Amino acid sequence: MHAHKNTGRPFTRFAFVWLTFSFSLGVKAHTSLTSANHASHLFSASEIIYFQQKKVVHYCIDPDWKPVEWMDKQQQHRGFVAQIIQLINHRLPLTFELVPTSSWLESIQKIKDQSCDILVAAMKTENRSTYLNFTQPYYSLANVIVTHIDTPTIQGINDEPSRIFAVVRGYAISELLAKNYPDIQLVYVDSILEGLQKVSAKKVDGYIDHELVLNHAIQENALLSLKINNTWEEHFSLSIGVRQDHPELLSILDKALDSIPESEKRTLYQQWMEGIPSMTPTTPFPWKYGVSIFLLCVLALGSAGYVVRTRQLQSELNQKTEDFTHKMAMIRRQDPITDLLNSHAIFLELQTLLMECRDSQKESSIILFEIKQFRDNCYHIIPSHRELFLKECATLIAEQLDEKSLLGRWSDNRFLILQPHIESFHSVVLAELIRNVFDSHQFVFDLQLTATFVIEILDHRESADQLLQRMEAKLNSHDNSSVQVIHPAEV
């Protein structure tokens, strides 16, 4: 990102941006701003002084986390996060300047030695909280497990204590795995590509990271021996990490993030899900082969007949590229075992539905439920048979839903149902129906499976993360041996 220099009188520029930002927050502040005298509604006295004194905010990034964020050859910030920083930069009387680094570890070191003020794409961890404060999350990322194409489906990290996973030094996921899964063997690498190459060479069993990052790395480097094995139940929330000696900057950035509509962030992210926009110099696979074939044919043959044939080949490649892109998009949204929406896809649908609730007076509901006896009853069964059980359960659930409802696999044995514009009463009836189906269905091996449900009315004032965390806590508090349908009034 280019640094923008202040021009003209500093207070004039400050007052203009101040009023612009105030207007964007007018709905949340419930006030109409007509002059600079209303600044106190948005910024405290200490924050205004900070604006006048700070001028420039130096920030560090992960230079190799494409396409979420990266640094190009011209040392410019690129990616989804770069666009978020641009939106913040436009809302504040501050200049944001990138401090170039060669690795994420170097970026962490620079924030520690105060060479930069913020890390713009950081996940909150126990270790980082000793030297950083964190803004509200501005986006939630789903993680996946990548393995060699020959590796059978990995059900869960806890179920695979003998497996070896590669992790990048300094990444939040390495801290989380080391703390929460002490039996897992970790091999530390310096880059995502190095980790994936170790998986391809079967030197490690797998690599875990954000699905958008891994999808891109596999395609860009033509790592055809790898596959997305399964989703991982842990979701990471991106925040801005702020040095603890800048408390005013933390609150200022929170206000700026709060002024960016969720729909705008979702649209930006969707652009990167569908493919890297033209701002990046990278040519996505398999277009690079189509371009090479075209140039070689024209230069080597040079005749009109071959040019026509090359155009035909290019047209065929265009179609194959479109089919490939569509297939990759489906893979990103689809759970590999049940063929339902995966956890990230259903989470995005929930965010969209919450946004729609702001503009609609109609009630919408969400059902979170768990197959309680699944782990205990299926522990002794081989993985392929456990997959059959999950598919059977998914089919039974899907058969009870109408066309409006959306069904996704949230985690190992938990599912989410979104019911747009459907009252909670009907959701309770649906939950009872699913419970009865499970009670009466004859599963193979004569297993008895039941389910516990939590039902809520969607409230647009609550984020998707907050809603799901509360619902999961409610689900965890109920007796594992019984089936309970919880009406929203009880939550």
357-378 pLDDT tens trace: 877 777 888 999 888 766 555 5
Region of poorest pLDDT, from 239-253, 261-275, 395-409, 451-465: 261-275
Answer yes or no: are the C-beta atoms of 344 and 408 closer than 8 Å: no
pLDDT of 325 over the 90 cut: no
In this prediction, residues 479-484 reach a mean pLDDT of 44
pLDDT band at 462; cut points 50, 70, 90: confident
DSSP secondary structure letter of residue 284 = P
* Rounded (10°) CA dihedral 170, 175, 176, 182: 140
Which residue did the predictor score with more confidence, 374 or 297? 374
pLDDT band at 115; cut points 50, 70, 90: very high
pLDDT band at 289; cut points 50, 70, 90: very low
H helix or E strand, kind and range, residue 237: strand 226-243
pLDDT recorded at residue 38? 36
pLDDT of 6 over the 90 cut: no
pLDDT recorded at residue 274? 66
pLDDT recorded at residue 355? 83
Give the separation between CA 478 and CA 428, rounded to whole angstroms: 17
pLDDT band at 8; cut points 50, 70, 90: very low
Sign, CA torsion 372/376/381/383: positive
Answer yes or no: are the C-beta atoms of 211 and 332 closer than 8 Å: yes
pLDDT recorded at residue 140? 85
Copy the structure tokens of residue 151: 């590796």
DSSP secondary structure letter of residue 38 = G
Determine whether 89 is exposed, middle or buried from the number of CB atoms within 10 Å of its CB (0-12, 13-18, 19+).
middle
Percent of all residues in the chain with a pLDDT value above 70, rounded to a whole number: 72
pLDDT recorded at residue 438? 81
HSE-CB of 148 using CA atoms within 13 angstroms: 14
Q: How many CB atoms lie within 10 A of CB 394?
A: 19
Answer yes or no: are the C-beta atoms of 136 and 257 closer than 8 Å: yes
Region of poorest pLDDT, from 22-31, 127-136, 214-223, 404-413: 22-31
Tens digit of each residue's pLDDT (9 = 90 or more) over 380-433: 555 566 777 788 888 989 998 888 899 999 987 889 999 988 777 678 878 888
Tell me which range, 213-227, 297-311, 346-360, is most confidently predicted by mean pLDDT.
213-227
pLDDT recorded at residue 291? 41
Give the separation between CA 79 and CA 67, rounded to whole angstroms: 5
Interacting residues of 148 by C-beta distance below 8 A, sequence separation 6+:
199, 200, 202, 225, 226, 227
pLDDT band at 275; cut points 50, 70, 90: low
Determine whether 236 is exposed, middle or buried from the number of CB atoms within 10 Å of its CB (0-12, 13-18, 19+).
buried
H helix or E strand, kind and range, residue 77: strand 77-78
pLDDT band at 117; cut points 50, 70, 90: very high
pLDDT recorded at residue 416? 94
pTM of the complete model: 0.52
In this prediction, residues 16-20 reach a mean pLDDT of 37
H helix or E strand, kind and range, residue 437: helix 424-440
pLDDT recorded at residue 312? 67
Region of poorest pLDDT, from 88-102, 217-231, 305-319, 329-343: 305-319
Name the residue among 320, 342, 225, 206 with its Cα closest to residue 273: 342
Strand blocks (E) in 327-469: 365-371, 406-411, 414-419, 451-457
Which residue did the predictor score with more confidence, 330 or 118? 118
Q: How many CB atoms lie within 10 A of CB 43?
A: 20
pLDDT of 95 over the 70 cut: yes
pLDDT band at 309; cut points 50, 70, 90: low
Q: In 3-state terms, what secondary structure has residue 64? A: strand
pLDDT band at 59; cut points 50, 70, 90: very high
pLDDT recorded at residue 305? 58
H helix or E strand, kind and range, residue 71: strand 69-71
DSSP secondary structure letter of residue 259 = T
Name the residue among 241, 459, 234 with its Cα closest to residue 357: 459
Q: How far is CA 64 from the centre of its chain?
A: 17
pLDDT of 100 over the 90 cut: yes
Report the 3 state secondary structure along 113-158. Answer: CCCCCEEEEECCCCCHHHCEEECCCCEEEEEEEEEECCCCCCCCHH
In this prediction, residues 224-228 reach a mean pLDDT of 89
Sign, CA torsion 81/156/176/164: negative
Which residue did the predictor score with more confidence, 349 or 42? 349
pLDDT recorded at residue 376? 56
Q: How many CB atoms lie within 10 A of CB 194?
A: 14
DSSP H helical ranges for 181-286 = 192-200, 211-220, 247-258, 262-274
Q: In 3-state terms, what secondary structure has residue 103? A: coil
pLDDT recorded at residue 246? 95
pLDDT recorded at residue 22? 39
For tokens 């790592």, what's the residue? 223
Tens digit of each residue's pLDDT (9 = 90 or more) over 158-198: 766 678 999 999 999 888 888 888 888 899 999 999 999 99
DSSP secondary structure letter of residue 210 = E
H helix or E strand, kind and range, residue 81: helix 80-91
Determine whether 440 is exposed, middle or buried from the number of CB atoms within 10 Å of its CB (0-12, 13-18, 19+).
exposed
pLDDT recorded at residue 481? 39
